[in-house]
Amino acid sequence: MTNVFKKNIRALRMRYQDIALTLERTHSNGIYAGTLTAHTGENIPFFRNNRTLHSRYNPWIEAERTLPAQHASFFFVASGQVSTSVFS
């Protein structure tokens, strides 16, 4: 277990003891060996074979190139009552 994992388990244990216990008992398949720091300063995971999932130089650029451009639309609906004293 890494120090980060242990800290997260301690934090979970304060409010969610059952989840913390389940995670402690979970066995990893061990494909990840750790993290590396990319040229841009971000942490990226690397596998046991020393290969990384993302670019070691600029993982954000690679991720942006990998994902197709998607347009998103947001529609907000609000309802409620306004007190008449607000407008008096």
Nearest to 58 by CA among 45, 44, 39, 43: 39
Strand segments, DSSP code E, in 1-88 are 32-37, 43-47
Q: Worst-scoring range by mean pLDDT, 5-9, 34-38, 62-66?
A: 62-66
pLDDT tens figures, 39-88: 898 888 888 888 887 788 888 888 788 777 666 666 666 655 544 444 44
- How far is residue 26's CA from residue 29's CA, in Å, rounded to a whole number? 10
The answer to whether residue 25 scores a pLDDT higher than 80 is yes
Tokens of 83: 């007190």
32-37 vs 43-47, strand pairing mode:
antiparallel
Long-range contacts of 67-75 (CB under 8 A, 24+ apart): none
pTM of the model: 0.41
Q: How confident is the model at residue 15 (pLDDT cuts 50, 70, 90)?
A: very high
